[in-house]
Amino acid sequence: MKDVAAIRRALISVSDKTGLADFARALAQADVTLLSTGGTAQYLRDLGLHVTEVSDVTGFPEIMDGRVKTLHPKIHGGLLAVRGNAAHDEAKAKHGIDDIDMLVVNLYPFEETVARQAGYDETIENIDVGGPAMIRAAAKNHASVAVVTDPADYAALAAELASTQGLCLSTRKRLAAKAFARTASYDAAIASWMAAQQQEQFPQRLTVSGTRTQSLRYGENPHQLAAAYRTHGAGVLAAHQLQGKALSYNNINDADAALETVAAFDPAQGPACVIVKHANPCGVARGATLAEAYGKALACDSTSAFGGIIAVNQKLDADAAQLMAGIFTEVILAPDASDDAKTILAAKKNLRLLLLKDWPRGSEHGVVVKSILGGFLAQTRDAELFDPKHLKTVSKRQPSKQEMDDLLFAWTVAKFVKSNAIVLARGGATVGIGAGQMSRIDSTRIAVAKSLDAAKSQGGTEPLAKGAVLSSDAFFPFADGIEAAADAGITAIIQPGGAMRDDEVIAAVDTRGLAMVFTGHRHFRH
C-alpha cells in the first residue's frame, strides 16, 4: 500500500447534506472530478459545480423509483479495482471502467424513520441498498480508495487534501473502520426493527449497536478505559448538561439509576425526588413541593447523600435548588429548571446540572443487556406496572389506607434497590434502605440501623422504622426477618410470597399483630 493516494474522481451521494457545500467546493478546488446521483447531483449543480451523473457513466438510467442506480460494474469496478494489478487493469480497459478514488455517502435515514414511527411501507423504502454496497466496496479497497460516511470528517479531509494532494494511508484506514462500523450499525437497526415486526423479543442473532457520545476519563477505576455509547430514546446520554466538568463513568451509571427510579413516579401525581449513591437509592420521597420531597429524601440518609446524584420528576424551582446547594452533590437531573434555579446552582462550579426534556416513562420497555465473559445476557426491562388489585392480604389484620399507600410506595422503590433489598417507608418517604446483602436478614438489620441513624441526625432517639412499613424485593425464607422488623416497630409488610416457609412467616406476622400483603412477583436487581 502506498502511503498517499491521489484523489482524482469522487462519487458523492448523500441523504444528509450537512457541510457538503464546503467539502464539495474543496474537492473541486483540488481538481477532483465529481460524480453524483439524483438530488445530490442537482444540489451540487446549484452550487455552480460541474457534476457528471452516474447514469452517464453507467449508460443506464436510474430505475424502479431510484432503487437501482449505482449497482453497476462501472461503479463497483471503479471502487474495487486493485491499483497496479495487471488483471484488474486489463478488465478496466476491456469494460471501460475508470477508477473512483473517493466515495462520499451517507445512508437513507432509516433510524430516523423508525424513530418517528413511520408506517411499514415507508420504513422499508428507507432501507438503503446501494449505499451500504458502495461503502463496503470502498472500505475494502482502502489501500487506494477513501470512503467518507460522516460529515464531521469533511473539514479535516479537505485540509489534508489541500496540503498533501491526497489522503494518507492512516487516514484511509481510519475512514474504512468508521465506514464498516456505520454499515454494521445500520444493519443492526434494520435487523432489530424487522425482529420487532415479527414480535421476536429475542431473535436468533441479537445485534446491539450504539453511537459514542463521549470518551470518558476512565471507567469505574482510573486504570480502566471507558466510553459512553447512546442507542436511542430518552436517557441520561440524551440530557443537556448546563454546567460542570464532563461526566464520569460512575456519574453516568448513578445518574441512570436515579433517572430510572424517579421515572417510576408519575409527575402528574406530584413531585418526587430520588437521591442515589453507588447505583442504589439512599433516599426517595414524594412531597407537596420539590423542596419538601428533597428534604424528606435527604432525611433518610443524609450521610450517604453527600456526593450523590439527585433526580426530580418536575421542573426544578428555586426553593428546591437552594436546599440542594446546601451539600456537595455530583449531578442534578430534571426535566427542566427555572432561571432562578439555574442561577443558584451556577454558583456550585463542580455540580453538573442535566436537563432532559424527553422524559422517560416509568413503564419504559426494551431489552437490558449485561456483559459477561465470552458473551452477554439479555432480558426485558422490569417495566411492569403493578396493579394493586393483585395484592393478597395474608395476615389476619388488614393494612390501613395509610399503610397501603406506604406499602405501594415502598414496593415501587424496592424495584430499584440492589438485591437483597429491604425498603422502609412512612408518609411517602423512605426512612431506611438495606441493599446488596447476601442475606435478607442482614438487609433488614441495615435498613433498621439506617432508620436509627436518620432519627439521630434529626435529634431523635427511636428508629424512624417505628410506625413505618417494609418492602422486600423477594420472599422472606425464614421468620427471622419478620421478627427483626417487628422489633424495630414496623407495622406492615409487602413482599412477593412463595417461600416454602410462608406459613411460618405469616404466623410470625400474626403473632406480632402486623399486616402483610403478597404481590405474587419479585423485583430482583443485580
Give the active site residues.
140, 278
Q: How distant, in Å, are the alpha carbons of 129, 179, 397, 400, 488 from that of 140?
A: 17, 10, 73, 70, 69
- Residues with Cβ within 8 Å of 507's Cβ and at least 6 positions away in sequence, in order, are 479
- Residues with Cβ within 8 Å of 172's Cβ and at least 6 positions away in sequence, in order, are 5, 142, 143, 145, 146, 147
Sign of CA dihedral 16, 21, 27, 28: positive
Torsion from C-alpha of 283, 285, 288, 291, nearest 10 degrees: 10
Q: How many CB atoms lie within 10 A of CB 289?
A: 14
Q: Helix or strand or coil: residue 418?
A: coil
The Cα–Cα gap between 274 and 310 comes to 6
Nearest to 286 by CA among 267, 268, 272, 265: 272
The Cα–Cα gap between 338 and 391 comes to 40
Site of grid cell 460494474 = 73
CB–CB of 36/13 below 8 Å? yes
Nearest to 230 by CA among 255, 248, 212: 212
- Residues with Cβ within 8 Å of 27's Cβ and at least 6 positions away in sequence, in order, are 7, 10, 34, 102, 158, 161
